[in-house]
Structure 1
Amino acid sequence: MATNAPVIDIREVTRTYGEGPPALTDVSLTVHTGEAVAVLGPSGSGKSTLLNLIAGLDRPSTGSVTVDGLRVDGLNESGSARYRRTRIGMVFQFFNLLDDLTVLDNVLLPAQLAGVSRAEARRRAAGLLEHLGIDRHAGTHPGRLSGGERQRVAVARALMNRPALLLADEPTGALDSASGEDVRKLLTGLNTEGQTLVLVTHDLRLAESCATRTVELVDGRIVRDTHRATAVAR
C-alpha cells in the first residue's frame, strides 16, 4: 500500500515557547503514502505541538515541515488556510460540527470554502455520506446524532476536498466504547483504502487496530518508532 512518496517530511524540528523547556526537540519524521501513524505519549510530551506543526497551525522555532511537497512552515496566514482547505483533513475529539447546519451542509462547507462548484460538492458529499453509512442523516442536525455518528460526519467533512493526509486528534476520546469501536473500524477501513492517517491518541486499542506504525514521544523527543513488523528504538 505504501509508496516511496513522502506525505510528511519533518526535519530536525525544535519548538520552544518563551523561557520554558522545548515542547519538541530535534524531531525528524517521515510518513509515506498509505501509512497510518499513531502518535503516543503522556500529557505534555509534545503530541499536540507536533500535530499543530503538521497542520500549519504553528511554526517550528528551527527545522522544516513539508507536507505533500509543500513547505508548510514557510506559509503566510492565507497560505496556511488554503493549505488546510486543500491538502489535509482534520478530525477533532469534540467533532467541531456546526449545530445550526444539517449534516449535509456541514460536509459541504469545506468544498464551498475551496471554491468547488455546487454540483460537484453535492456529488462528493452524497458519495461520502453513503460510503460512511450516514446518508440517511443528510437532513438531520448533528445534535440529534450519537457520538459515533457525529464523528462519521466529521470524517466525511474532513475528506471532502480529497486530502493527501487525514489528521485525527483523539478521535475516540469523547466516545463511549461502542462508538469508539465504530470509529476505530472506520479509520482502519479508510487506511485500507489508501488514505494516509496521522492519529494523536491515548486510545491504545485505536493504535493497535488502526495504525501501521506508532511513534512515541517523551519530553518532546521521539523515543520509539515502531512498525508492525519491526521496532526501532532511539
Structure 2
Amino acid sequence: MTPVIELANVAKRYTSSGAPVLGPLDLAVAPGEALAVTGPSGSGKSTLLNLVAGLDRPTEGSVTVSGERLDRLSEHALARFRREHIGMVFQFFNLLDDLTVLDNIQLPAQLTGTARRTAATRAAELMEALGIQKHARAYPGRLSGGERQRVAVARALVNRPALLLADEPTGALDTASGEDVRELLVELHRGGQTLVLVTHDLALATACASRTIHLVDGQPTRDARAAVVR
C-alpha cells in the first residue's frame, strides 16, 4: 500500500551551522492512518507538520505526499497542491470573520475552480454531517469555539483531501468544546480519513490516533501503535 506521507532522511535547519530542529528522520503514514505527534515545546512538532503541508521545505531529504515530491514543487504548484489534496485545521480556527459560515466552507472549493453551486452543495453536506447547518448564514464571531472549529473542519474537508492536518485543534477550546472536537476527529478517523494531529494533549492523542510519535529535540523517542483498533 502506497503511503499518503513519506519522509526520507528529512532534516530541517534554520541556520547553516546549527543542529537540525527536526531529524534526520524517516516516516511513512499509510492511507486511513491517524497519527498523533506529541512532544514538548520546541521538539519539532510544528516543523514536521509544516513540512508535510508544504509550508516549509526540508534542508535535507525528500517529502512526498499523495505521490508528489513537495520539495521539488514551485511555490505556486505547492499552493495548488495544498488546496486540492491537503486539509488544514488550526488552533485558532483561521476563519474569515467577514464571510458567513457557508462562504468560509465553500471558499477552498471555489479557489480550485469548483462551480459555486457544486461548492455550496458540498458545503451543505458537510454542515449537516457536522451539525452546524443552522449557522450557515451566521458569521464566525457569533459562534462558540467548538462551533468555529467544526466550521474549520468542514472547510478543511470541502475538497475531499487525501490528508487532514490538525495543529492543536483543541488548544483554544474549553473542556466541553474540546471533547466535542475530539469526538469529531475520532469519527473522521473511523470513516477512513488519513489524519496527522499535532497536540500537547495526550488524552486527545490517545482517543483519536491509531499511532503516536513522541518527538524530543527533533527526534522520535517513541513510535507506538494503538493496541486496539477503534
TM norm. shorter chain > 0.5: yes
In 2, distance between residues paired with 1:20 and 1:151? Answer: 37
Deviation at 1:91, TM superposition (A): 0.2
Deviation at 1:33, TM superposition (A): 0.6
The DSSP-based 3-state class of the residue aligned with 1:6 is coil
How do 1:10-159 and structure 2 match up within 5 A? 10-18=7-15, 19-159=17-157
Paired AA for residue 135 in structure 2:
H
Give the stretch that moved more between structures: 162-171 or 14-23.
14-23
Deviation at 1:26, TM superposition (A): 1.2
Deviation at 1:21, TM superposition (A): 2.1
The DSSP-based 3-state class of the residue aligned with 2:102 is helix
Deviation at 1:224, TM superposition (A): 1.1
- For 2:211, the equivalent position in structure 1 comes to 213
In 1, distance between residues paired with 2:191 and 2:181? Answer: 15
Structure 1 unmatched runs, 5+: none
Runs of 4+ off more than 3 Å: none
In 1, distance between residues paired with 2:138 and 2:23? Answer: 45
- The percentage of counterpart residues that share the same residue type is 67
Deviation at 1:119, TM superposition (A): 1.4
The DSSP-based 3-state class of the residue aligned with 1:105 is helix
- For 1:5, the equivalent position in structure 2 comes to 2
- For 1:174, the equivalent position in structure 2 comes to 172
The DSSP-based 3-state class of the residue aligned with 2:107 is helix
Deviation at 1:203, TM superposition (A): 1.0
1:64-106 deviation line (CA, Å, top 9, x unaligned): 0000111011111101100110010000000000011100000
TM-score with structure 1 setting the length? 0.95
The DSSP-based 3-state class of the residue aligned with 2:212 is strand
Deviation at 1:131, TM superposition (A): 0.4
The DSSP-based 3-state class of the residue aligned with 1:116 is coil
Deviation at 1:62, TM superposition (A): 0.7
Q: Structure 1 residue 188 and structure 2 residue 186: aligned? A: yes
